[in-house]
Amino acid sequence: MTNWIKPTDKLRRQVMTNWIKRSLRALMLAAGMVLLLPTAVQAQEPLLKFNYGLPTADYYVLYVAKDQGLFQKYGLDPQWYFFQSGAPLLAGLKSESLDVISTGLASAFALGQKIPLKLIFWEMDDSAGEGVVVSSKSGLNTIQDLVKAKAVGAPSGTCAQVALALIARKIGVKYTDIKSVNIPPPLYANAFASDSIDAGVAWAPFLQTLAEQGHKIIAYDADYGIDGGICPVLTGGRTKFMQANPDVGRKLVQINAEAAAMIAKNPQLAMDALVKYLSVSPTVAKATYDRLCCTRRPTFAQQLDPASPYSMVNPNGGLARKLQIATQMFFEAGSIPAALTTDEIMNALDPSYIRRYVESGGK
């Protein structure tokens, strides 16, 4: 038979105190779990995956944004696709396998091919870094000499092709009077070595790299172009993708602005990115950055100013004028069936994202 011991008042009080403490700890833990639940769910929200296409070019702001994790910071997870020039982007846009692009006049080329695009801001003005380079063995010295070249590199559907068409107009010949070949600037060095071309129109940093190798730059876009040169690098996306994901445009603007601010504080970030992504020397990276940075990179405020050469809102000037001239050059070169109308161009430009950013206090 078990002998029971009658609990004392003190023991009863101790048992009750311990039970209360355990209960309170359990309640606090449960409350803490409830409070933490929304944060945990938010952290597990998947990043938006999409395909981002761009040519191998001097887009240092984009490279810095990529390396600094800014896309992930804003809930985006781009899968990157690099091309030797902008024109091959068209196949990806047509098949809807590319969603967002940053490119030069391949955007105008795409619009000329009736591919629905929304262009939301300037990445940079690449005309400052583009020009004509001739082989050290060519004997060519001026743009007038290009009619004597055995072949001039100028990839179709790009800023280089537009530049060559403007050169032809400048020196008073037809585009077809200059023998052009459709190869991208990353291949010019080998083409010079094999004597398959003796000149080419190239964008930065390939132009500067060829000069470092002993070839000669005989002109820049400003020497033969209109409005100081025509090579706007634009960021945009397929119309259906942008409509289905309305926050993407806003986030791309914020990412671009934040990366640009980082570079303003530390320009070495840009130069290191050019070295990393384009395998150029630090000297070429610095020369490229010096030509493209600062005053030649449009601010968002300039893009919203009707009087600015970088305006996205003036149907008779700024970007619209550049795209109109570019598509006229593509038409004359036989690359598209017709130049774009003003209405077609303005329908493709969507400055609403940068407008909201500026109105909210951004620059």
In this structure, whether the domain defined by 129-224 belongs to CATH 3.40.190.10 is answered with: yes
Q: What is the pLDDT along the chain (363 residues), one digit of tens a residue?
A: 444 444 455 444 554 555 445 554 544 444 443 333 444 434 557 999 999 999 999 999 999 999 999 999 999 999 999 998 888 888 899 999 999 999 999 999 999 989 999 999 999 999 999 999 999 999 999 999 999 999 999 999 999 999 999 999 999 999 999 999 999 999 999 999 999 999 999 999 999 999 999 999 999 999 998 888 999 999 999 999 999 999 999 999 999 999 999 999 999 999 999 999 999 999 999 999 999 988 778 999 999 999 999 999 999 999 999 999 999 999 988 889 999 999 999 999 999 999 999 998 876
Superfamily of domain 48-125+230-359: Periplasmic binding protein-like II (3.40.190.10)
Calculate the CA 286 to chain-centre distance.
Answer: 19
Distance (Å, whole) CA 16 – CA 9: 11
Among residues 166, 171, 162, 177, the alpha carbon closest in space to that of 142 is found at 171
3-state secondary structure of 360: coil
Where in 295-350 does DSSP place strands (E)? none
Domain residue ranges in the chain: 48-125+230-359, 129-224
Sheet holding 232-238, edge to edge: 76-83, 48-55, 100-103, 232-238, 117-125
Among residues 103, 73, 115, the alpha carbon closest in space to that of 241 is found at 115
Same fold, 48-125+230-359 and 129-224: yes
CB atoms within 10 A of CB 294: 11
